[in-house]
Amino acid sequence: MSQQGAALQSYNNELVKCIEDLCGKRDELHRSILQEEEEKQKLQNDIRVLTERLAKVNESLAKKMASRNEFDKTIAETEAAYMKILESSQTLLNVLKRESSTLKEKSYPTTTGGSTQRTLTQS
């Protein structure tokens, strides 16, 4: 009987050791779970902060792009108006040169052999 008691005691010791090993592994796993849950919370917070920042940057970009488009529109309209002014100025200059030439011809007629000859001066 003492042999059976010794075997039972040995089994009991092994069983206790196995249970302690399992508890140790469980505790290690639990610590690992807590660390990952903490990291998860931190990452979720970082995602929330970054999502808010992204929304603000997107909003700012949209406003700036709209402003840039307004600048582009204003610049294009101004350039078009300026080109019209340049064209009008060129037309006016050409008309003025023609009129000036015509006035000069009328003011200074040249006579040759009894006939009047007009001289054209183009600048």
Residue 123, pLDDT score: 45
Domain boundaries, the chain: 9-92
Confidence category of residue 10, pLDDT binned at 50, 70, 90: very high
The model's pLDDT over 49-89, given as tens digits with 9 standing for 90+, comes to: 999 999 999 999 999 999 999 999 999 999 999 999 999 99
- Identify the bridge partners of residue 112 per DSSP, sorted by sequence position: 115
**Rounded Cα–Cα distance for residues 41 and 38 (Å):** 5
What share of the chain has pLDDT > 70, as a percent? Answer: 88
The one-letter code for the residue type at 11 is Y
**Rounded Cα–Cα distance for residues 36 and 29 (Å):** 10
pLDDT at 90 over 90: yes
